[in-house]
């Protein structure tokens, strides 16, 4: 298992989209997996499970896992219903230890509150009707 070999964390970039039916999380460097849910909290939970299931077969091969980590992004969709985040994964690939950090665009200090407010409205944990 990787944890015995490395205390390294892995970082995966994700595109989050608020849809009419809920939310979708797509992995930037792993296009074959995604998560869908009604609330943002539910979708994040599913994304952790999907990511762990995808990575577990590579648990003895650090290079395979590193090949899927966040390195580049071809296009960035800056629509009002899309935002980006990073998922940090511990070396044991445990989905219960995964964490999400939001990416806010570089802006002036006065504009940071507006960006954070807009993001909080997108992830408001309520079921979208």
What pTM, to 2 d.p., does this model score?
Answer: 0.85
Task: Report the percent of the chain where pLDDT is more than 90.
Answer: 61
| Average predicted confidence (pLDDT) for the chain | 86
pLDDT score, position 6: 61
Q: Each residue of 73-122: pLDDT tens digit?
A: 677 777 788 899 999 999 999 999 999 998 887 777 777 888 888 888 88
Return the domain boundaries, the chain: 2-122
Q: How confident is the model at residue 3 (pLDDT cuts 50, 70, 90)?
A: very low
Per-residue pLDDT averaged across 52-56, rounded?
A: 97
DSSP string of 58-124, one letter each residue: GTT-HHHHHHTSS---S-----TTEEEEEEEE-TT--GGG-EEEEE-----HHHHHHHHHHHHHHT-
């Amino acid at each position: 298992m990787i944890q015995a070999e490395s205390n390294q964390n892995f970082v995966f970039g994700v595109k989050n989209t608020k849809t009419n039916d809920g939310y979708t999380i797509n992995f930037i460097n792993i296009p074959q997996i995604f998560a869908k849910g009604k609330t943002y909290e539910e979708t994040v939970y599913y994304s952790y499970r999907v990511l762990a299931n995808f990575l577990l077969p590579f648990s003895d091969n650090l290079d395979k896992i590193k090949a899927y980590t966040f390195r580049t992004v071809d296009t960035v969709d800056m629509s009002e219903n899309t935002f980006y985040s990073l998922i940090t994964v511990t070396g044991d690939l445990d989905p219960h230890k995964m964490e999400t950090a939001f990416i806010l665009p570089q802006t002036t200090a006065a504009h940071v509150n507006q960006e954070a407010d807009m993001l909080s409205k997108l992830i408001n944990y309520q079921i979208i009707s």
